[in-house]
Structure 1
């Protein structure tokens, strides 16, 4: 079922509320001061208000830096998470799953897993959301998308949530993969004979085949189950 976009007046009201909470978090009183603090132009911040849309990266960075819940920043929920609830950068007091965030896609990885990669933050999903999405809350990871090879499905700087327990690509889908020491996000298709086809949704990029005799250079880390990105 398609989800209708929020009417502009509602988006504008939500955006205004988010920006109020942003100002409160960083301790400033005006949009001008907030723009200066975030290192963006006042016109860029003004465009947020006009579009009723704030880049998710800005929200995530603020939450990670100041130890506040993304649920609170965006929806005004879980005010108790504003202080004393983060230990080692991970939220402790919210009922749900704290998903580690890795900025690794497209970069050389330490191995065929995320275990040795650096966690740069965390993203909180409450139990109700996890249940509604029908995903596994035990082995989830957030990964930043780099480049335009998966446009329009995924765009540069989007965050995606990866279920590390879903490694079978027999039915296709978008996956976080390891190829010859590099971590990438691609659509996968299993071919006859055990080969794998790597597909970029951006038609400007050619498809790549991993032949059966080269499968030792290929691993599937998990299935991309959720996209977090700005709606344009």
Structure 2
């Protein structure tokens, strides 16, 4: 197996749901020109892959080598779950169902909920749903 910068960037673009390298660069926290320059010189964006693996719950093996196409779909579903929880927490706060302490953010509440969830069970359900 060999690493291919173009393929790695294609997978990152797909995960971040954009087709523009400058937008991907910004989403990853870099200058707009970072992605195009890195890809042009054949650089492997290891740090960006680590961040994407954590954010989208996909493996480095998928990001670097493209193994396991099903993993991409599962990662996107986990990300949608996280967004759904965040939206639900926000609505619950708006309706007065929950009142967080002043120093507690919505993202901290979401992360606490996610930490208590078994994402492997969620992923198993998603796999069973596809069959």
With structure 2 as the length reference, what TM-score do the two structures score?
A: 0.51
Correspondence for 2:42 among 52, 59, 62:
52
**Unpaired stretches in structure 2, ≥5 consecutive residues:** 79-116, 125-131
* Map of 2:33 onto structure 1: 43
Q: Does residue 66 of structure 1 match 2:56?
A: yes
Higher helix share goes to which structure? Answer: 2
Q: 1:89 to 1:38 in 2, by over 3 A?
A: farther
Secondary structure, counterpart of 1:49 in structure 2 = helix
Q: Where in structure 1 do 4 or more consecutive aligned residues deviate above 6 Å?
A: 84-87
Q: Residue 77 of structure 1: CA displacement?
A: 0.5
Question: For 1:31, which of 21, 24, 27 is the aligned residue?
Answer: 21
Matched residue SS, 1:42: coil
Distance (whole Å) between structure 1 residues aligned to residue 70 and residue 9 of structure 2? 19
**Residues 15 and 56 of structure 2 are in contact (CA less than 8 Å); yes or no, is this contact kept in structure 1?**
yes
- Measure the CA separation in 1 of the matches of 2:50 and 2:118: 16
Higher relative contact order (CA 8 A, sep 6+): 2
RMSD: 3.0
Q: Who wins on radius of gyration, i.e. which is larger? A: 1
Closer/same/farther in 2, CA of residues 51 and 81 from structure 1, 3 Å limit: same
Distance 1:89 1:76, change over 3 A: same
Runs of 5+ in structure 1 lacking a partner? Answer: 1-9, 94-232
Report which stretch shifted further, 39-48 or 56-65: 39-48
Cα deviation, residue 68, structure 1 = 1.3
CA distance in 1, matches of 2:32, 2:66: 24
Q: What is the total number of aligned residue pairs between the two structures?
A: 83
C-alpha separation between the residues in 2 aligned to 1:78 and 1:67?
Answer: 13
Q: If each structure's strand is expressed as a fraction of its own residues, which one has the higher value? A: 1
TM-score (norm 1): 0.31
- Name 1:111's counterpart in structure 2: none
In the aligned structure 2, how far is the partner of 1:78 from the partner of 1:65?
17
